[in-house]
Structure 1
Amino acid sequence: MSNNNTPSAQGSQHTHYDVLQLPRHGDGQRLSKDEVKAAYRRALLLHHPDKVQSGALKHSTGPTTSLYSVDEIVVAYEVLADPEKRHAYDRALDQNDRSGLKGADGGKGTHIGVELYDLEDLVYDEVRNIWSKSCRCGDEQGYTLTETDLERESQHGEIYVGCRGCSLFIKVLFGLVET
C-alpha cells in the first residue's frame, strides 16, 4: 500500500495515520475498528524489530532499521481505535494545519506517550483568560486552553492539547463547577 505521506527514514515528522498507513482526511471519520486493527497488525508485522532483522527494511549499506517503533505503532493504534481520542487528534491536526504549525511533510507529527495533568497544574492568565503550560520544546506557552475549549469537552472531563511549537500532546483532566 503506497502512502504519499509516509516519511523517509531520515526522521521526518509523521501522523498516526502515516504510522498505520491509513487515509486521514474525509475517510478518517469512517474508519471502522476492524480497519484500524488490521492496519495496526500490518504495521506491527512490517516494523517489528524481529521482522525487520529478517530483511524487510534492511538498508544495503547500514544497519537494519524501521521507519516506526513499536511504541509509535501502539500509540497510533490507541488513538485511532478510540473514536473520542481520534476526534480530538483529528481536531488538533486540523487546527495545526490551519495555523501553519506543521512539519516538513505537511503533517503535525506524532507523539510518543501523552503526559497527564490536572487543569490546576496549568498557569491561568487572567488578562487573556487562558490556561497554559510550557513544553519541553522550549515554548513557554506551548499548550494553551480557553474556557470555550473546556466547555466543548465538558461531558468528557478531559481534553487533549497539542503544543503549538512541536508534535507533543498533553491530556488535561478537569471538572466544571456549577455556579
Structure 2
Amino acid sequence: MILVFLVIFTLCAYLGGVYISNRKLANSLRALFSFLLFLTIVAMIGNDTQHWGMRSQTEVRTTNLLSSVAKPQEPSFLLYKNLGTTTKDQIYLYRTDTRPKKIQHTLPKKTTNQVRVTTGTPRLVTKTQRWTYQGTGWGWLFSVAGNEGQRIKTQNTFYVGSQWQVLTPQKLKQLAKMAQAKAQVRAKAQAAAQN
C-alpha cells in the first residue's frame, strides 16, 4: 500500500502545482503533497533498513537427531564441512529422518552452530529469529516490501551422546579406509590361523 501512497502523493504534488491556476493554492498543495511524499519515502527507507513497524520473533524447534551416516552397524556421526579456507564458516550435515538419502544441512549465513554432549536423546534444537509486523496496520502498509518473516539469525544446538563422533566427510572416508584395512588384516590373520 505504501507504493500506492507514493504514486498518489507524487501525482497530487504534480497536478496540484501545474493545473491549479490560483498560485497560492497550487504552491500550498504542492508543498503539502511533497511533504507527504517525503514522509512516504522516509517510511519506506526506515522499514527497509531499520525495520520500522516490525519486531523480532523467535521460534524454537526441537527434532530428533540421527547419525549423518545411515549405516546402523557404525557408531553415530555428525558431519560438518568448512566453507572457504577458514574454519569460521561451517555447515553441519545431519539427518532427522530414517530414509538414508534424506540428509539435511544447516544454513551458512547468519547461523551459529554448537555441539554439546548430553546423556539424553540426540536432538537438534533450532532457534530462528525472524522479523514480523507489529500489527495488521503495519503489515497492510508495507506488505509489498516482502520482509515479513525475513530471517535475522539462526542458532543450531546439536545435543549428541558421548559415543558420537563429530568430523568432516574427509575424516570419515579416512576412518572407513582404516576400518577396511583392519578388516582385511583380520581376515588374512584368520585365514592364516586356520591353515
- TM-score, normalised with respect to structure 2: 0.19
- Greater relative contact order (Cα < 8 A, sep 6+): 2
- TM-score, normalised with respect to structure 1: 0.21
Normalized per residue, the structure richer in strand is 2
